[in-house]
Amino acid sequence: MCFVPWTIFGRNLGSPLFLVIRGRLVFLWYPPKMQAETLLSLPDGLVITDFYFAEATLHLLIASVGPHALCPLCKSASEAQHSSYERTFRDVPCGNYAVQIHLTTRRFFCGKGTCPRQIFTERFAHFVLPRARISERFRQALRALSVVSAHEAGARLARLLHLPTSVTTVRRQLAALPLPVESHPTHIGIDDFAFRRGQTYGTVIVDLDSHHILDLLADRTTATVEAWLRRHPQVRVISRDRAGEYAQAATRGAPQAVQVADRFHLLVNAGDCLERFIHRHPALLQEAPAPALPSAAPVSRAERHIQEQRATQRAQRYQAIQELTQQGHSQQAIAQLLGIARGTVIAYQRAATAPASVSRERVRAIDAYLPFLRSQWEAGQQNTHVLWEAICAQGFRCSSHYLRRYLAQWRTEPGQKGRPPKAPIATPTTLPQPQRRLSPRRLRWICWKSPTGCTATEQAQLDACVQRCPDLLRMQQALLAFKDLIAQRDRSRLDSWLTEAEHSALPELMGFAGGIRRDYAAVAAALECPFSQGPVEGQVNRIKTVKRQLYGRAGLPILKRHLLCQAA
């Protein structure tokens, strides 16, 4: 058996092994032993002199053994060593151990007389930067975590991956990331998003081809969007909602581009038009009380007085708004004079009469059992515990105390003491389901359904509303025709529908048609082009998610790097 290492051109190629097995000479090859420096991917010129473990951390003592070093200014090589010192920094983990490197770094004399730096320290550009406390691969790992996760979550995940760091370091690494180079999109979508809902808004611009975010703007003003569009003259298609600021910015900043109105927002605007019509006719929501559900105790004198005061206040406010509107005051001025919201002013201006109070009753657990309870109460059975046991047998899940508090309003005299009668109470097999009170939003969605998509109850409610206001049927038919026009993307029917809507004598429908006329080119392009705001709305939802993860620290610079660097 022979075992001799072979070396060619100064490189260890391993050791050949010759064995005799069953009379035959067998040749085997053993590869060279892998060095620790190669296993840990250390740069050339660095060797491990020693190591030790302390508190789940692997400490590596590394020395530089290169024959010379380059001056960082004049780039001349020098072999004249001045001194050495030790640097300590973090490196990526090895197995289940965090790694801390103690690097013995040398100083050299610069041999070039014209160089302003007489003494310099050797550099390890791709391994660790000067004065850095972490290696470059440790820095890249932190930057990857900072982009794909929130700062707090990124710091916790880094510690689990044996990359000990702090939240501030993760945030600092993200802030140091350069923004990706701007691309040159031709099809973009524009929408706004909230930095702080109701107060501060920004603008997101999305590439409709790749569905990636191109840029985030600090606000949603016409001047800011117009300036961005002027810097990108290659844009050919702009998808947007019905906001006037973006339409004006696209017209000024990119006159060569085709503006496309979003089809979903067109349907939303049509639904808003129907809801304004419902608010203008309060009689649509005045339903007759259901005979199957007996009423509770009568309203007290104090409650009736409060209701009358509120009705008088609404009537006075309605009269004041109508008078100020006839005098030429703006909606904002009327809101400031009366101390109310601008939305309230708009609702009162559109209403034909003073709006009535719409009670928003929630469906309670006891509502399904009220007919049975009322019938037993009027028959003389007023013992709470007996009634509670009877409705529990029918599926009631609340406590007897809940029932006792509710039945207290039905009592006109104190309850009688003593044991309840032992006669069982006959329980019905089926109970009537409580009916939801009709609200403007609910009536809007009933009208928005196709005739075959309504339930029997919804169709009965719709028929009753049409009997009270026949114009509702005309309004519904016109908007359903518009909905079908958008769904079929039938450009040929748009002009005829606009003509009929403009001559309908319904103020809300005429106003909606007028808005489409003013944005006619974008609406017509929406029926011809395949682009929509779907990718943009998806990115807006993504922005909301990232903002919530960052716990209020999602300013524009941090938010932009989170979204743009992750897409890159």
The DSSP symbol for 453 reads G
**Long-range interactions of 268-272: CB distance < 8 A, separation 24+:** 269/242, 269/512, 269/515, 270/479, 270/482, 270/483, 270/512, 271/444, 271/448, 271/479
The DSSP symbol for 24 reads E
8 Å CB contact between 317 and 338 = yes
128's CB contacts (< 8 A; 6+ apart) are 87, 89, 103, 134, 135, 136
pLDDT given at position 290: 45
Rounded alpha-carbon distances, angstroms, from residue 378 to 12, 375, 411, 513:
105, 5, 11, 56
CA torsion sign for 268, 271, 276, 279 is: negative
- Considering only CA atoms, which of 492, 530, 496 is closest in space to residue 262? 530
pLDDT given at position 11: 39
The H or E element spanning position 540 is: helix 534-549
Q: For residue 27, what are the β-bridge partners?
A: 18
Q: For residue 78, what are the β-bridge partners?
A: 69
Rounded alpha-carbon distances, angstroms, from residue 417 to 383, 386, 400, 414:
10, 14, 17, 9
**Backbone angles phi and psi of 529, in degrees to 5:** -95, 150
User: What is the per-residue burial (b if ≥16 Cβ within 10 Å, else e) of 34-73?
Assistant: eeeeeebebeebbebeeeeeeeeebbbebbbeeeebbbee
Cα 221 from Cα 509, distance rounded (Å)? 29
CA torsion sign for 246, 208, 530, 539 is: negative
SS3 29: strand
Radius of gyration of the chain (CA): 39
Beta pairing, strands 187-196 & 237-240: parallel
Cα 409 from Cα 19, distance rounded (Å)? 104
SS3 429: coil
**Backbone angles phi and psi of 261, in degrees to 5:** -75, 145
pLDDT given at position 402: 85
SS3 229: helix
Cα 206 from Cα 189, distance rounded (Å)? 5
Alpha helix ranges (H) inside 254-369:
263-280, 301-326, 331-338, 342-350
The H or E element spanning position 47 is: strand 46-54
User: What is the per-residue burial (b if ≥16 Cβ within 10 Å, else e) of 502-528?
Assistant: eebebebbeebbebbeebeebbbbbbe
The model scores a pTM over 0.75: no
8 Å CB contact between 230 and 253 = yes
User: The tokens of 423 are what?
Assistant: 């006669």
300's CB contacts (< 8 A; 6+ apart) are none
Alpha helix ranges (H) inside 231-262:
244-253
pLDDT given at position 501: 92
What angle do the packed helices 494-502 and 507-518 form, to 10 degrees?
140
SS3 518: helix
pLDDT in tens, the chain (568 residues): 444 444 333 334 445 555 555 556 555 554 554 567 777 888 888 888 888 998 889 999 999 888 888 998 888 888 898 999 999 999 999 888 999 999 999 999 998 888 888 999 999 888 999 989 999 999 999 988 888 887 788 888 888 888 888 888 888 888 888 888 888 889 999 999 988 887 889 999 999 998 999 999 999 899 999 999 999 999 999 999 887 889 899 999 999 999 999 999 999 999 999 998 988 887 777 664 444 444 444 455 666 778 788 888 888 888 889 889 888 888 888 988 888 888 888 888 877 777 766 555 566 788 888 888 888 888 888 888 888 888 888 888 888 888 888 888 777 655 555 455 555 555 444 444 555 567 888 888 888 888 788 888 888 888 888 888 889 999 999 999 999 999 999 889 999 999 999 999 899 999 999 999 998 999 999 999 888 889 999 999 988 888 888 776 778 888 888 888 876 5
Cα 543 from Cα 193, distance rounded (Å)? 8
Cα 202 from Cα 224, distance rounded (Å)? 10
User: The tokens of 26 are what?
Assistant: 């067998």
Beta pairing, strands 57-64 & 46-54: antiparallel
